[in-house]
Amino acid sequence: MTLETIPLPQSNSTQFLDCDLAIVGGGIVGATLALTLKDSGLKIKLIEVQPLEKVASRRRSYALSLLSGRIFDSIGVWSEILPQIGKFRHIRLSDADYPEVVTFETGDLGTDYLGYVGDHGVILGTLQKAIAGCPNIEWVCPAQVVEVEYEATEAIVTVEKEGIRQQLHTKLVIGADGPRSFIRSLAQIKTQGWKYWQSCVTFTIGHTAPRNDVAFERFGYSGPMGILPLPGNRCQIVWTAPHAQAQELVDLDETVFLEKLEERTQGSLGKISLDSDRYLFPVQLMQSDHYAQSRLALVGDAAHCCHPVGGQGLNLGIRDAAALAQVIEEAYKKGEDIGNIKVLKRYERWRRWENWVILGFTDFLDRFFSNQILPIMVIRRLGLRLMMGLPPFKKIALQLMTGLLGKRPQLAKN
């Protein structure tokens, strides 16, 4: 009996459901985790507080790394996603008004592309469609998790749907419910980190530049700007600036805003026009003290958040999902309890250190380039010159950005 077909009980009654895995959060990372386990033999419930169509309607685009593309390919969704998203073969890294530009090319890695850019709706909509064909995965949606009790052999998740509370018994709970994770808070897992002095203004533009296969990371004295190509001569832009300045950019008249944008991009995109509203969000660095405890694991933004420079955030979550799925499936095949802390610590040891590297790298980039301190300016511009002249160093930096440096999930090794 599924949650959707249970007869309506009295308001104080409780229904019991069983599954192997309860994933709380039906965004891209939670859906990826579920789909990665589609052939595992495990029974999975995906709990999402919003209706599916609303979850997929979010107006935002993301950079997708080469590794994320390989993960999506291995779970059977890449062939549908790829034709609908932007691809870039070049990355251009520049520092404010410094004339030298570091250019990364596909030849540096021997790949067809260096990365991709996809709309939220395209990615999540494709994952939702694939999940609909998986008999072992069931949506519990829209539904709100009210309480979780962790016991020796199971976790009991109390879910409220349409005013009715029901209990779900599961071997393992996965928190995939974002940076303000209710699941993490209930488990009293503390976090480390800080809020930056900056916010991001994100929006989409149309442009008339002759080519649309270049991703730009343009560092400025007040913060970086990422420019990522989307299909149809469009770009997703993430403009980082101090809080007050970022708010001013959102509030500016459209004509004045586009003039400032053209000045910042030095006319490299030709004639530009706004293709979406401007959205503002603050920036933070956050790392959970633990990714796992008995009967619980955290993935994606529920476990960590990083500065958006370099477009690493979602990719870390997709990598978490693939790594956790591998650990769970290997343990299940061996007859181990997938909710046992010894099993879940394998995932934590794998991913927490690697995520620290990216969190530290993005923090370093933002602080190192977002200032006008003369000695630092000299050092960083010398570093750019060295990178241009040292192919091995350049390749390592590119492997880090594309997700190809570090331990890869088994399903993404081809």
Question: Mean of the pLDDT values across residues 334-347?
Answer: 97
63 strand-pairing partners: 117
Can you identify the CATH homologous superfamily of domain 3-86+120-192+285-412? FAD/NAD(P)-binding domain (3.50.50.60)
Please state the domain extents for the chain.
3-86+120-192+285-412, 196-283
Which one-letter amino acid corresponds to residue 9?
P
Predicted local confidence at residue 383, as pLDDT: 84
Residue in 138, 172, 136, 173 with CA at minimum distance from that of residue 41: 136
* Residue written as token pair 């691809």: 87
pLDDT tens digits, 132-147: 999 999 999 999 999 9
Position 413 pLDDT exceeds 90: no
Predicted local confidence at residue 100, as pLDDT: 86
Position 13 pLDDT exceeds 70: no
Burial 237-276 (b: 16+ CB within 10 A, else e): bbbbbeeeebeebeebeeeebbeebeeebeebbeebeebb
CA separation for the pair 358, 64 (Å, rounded): 15
Residue in 57, 44, 177, 70 with CA at minimum distance from that of residue 123: 57
Position 42 pLDDT exceeds 70: yes
Alpha helices per DSSP H over 24-175: 28-36, 52-55, 66-74, 78-81, 120-132
pLDDT tens digits, 265-314: 988 899 999 999 999 999 999 999 999 999 999 999 999 999 999 999 99
pLDDT tens digits, 44-60: 999 999 999 999 998 88
Q: Count of CB atoms within 10 A of residue 376's CB?
A: 13
Predicted local confidence at residue 414, as pLDDT: 64
Residue in 111, 36, 40, 132 with CA at minimum distance from that of residue 78: 36
Which one-letter amino acid corresponds to residue 96?
A
Burial 204-216 (b: 16+ CB within 10 A, else e): bbbbebeebebbb
What's the mean pLDDT when you consider all of the chain? 92
CA separation for the pair 162, 142 (Å, rounded): 8
Highest mean pLDDT among 22-31, 98-107, 156-165: 22-31
Residues 6+ apart with CB under 8 A from 180: none
Does residue 251 or residue 385 have the better pLDDT? 251
What is the topology classification, in CATH, of domain 196-283? D-Amino Acid Oxidase; Chain A, domain 2 (3.30.9)
Rg (CA), the chain: 22
Position 84 pLDDT exceeds 90: yes
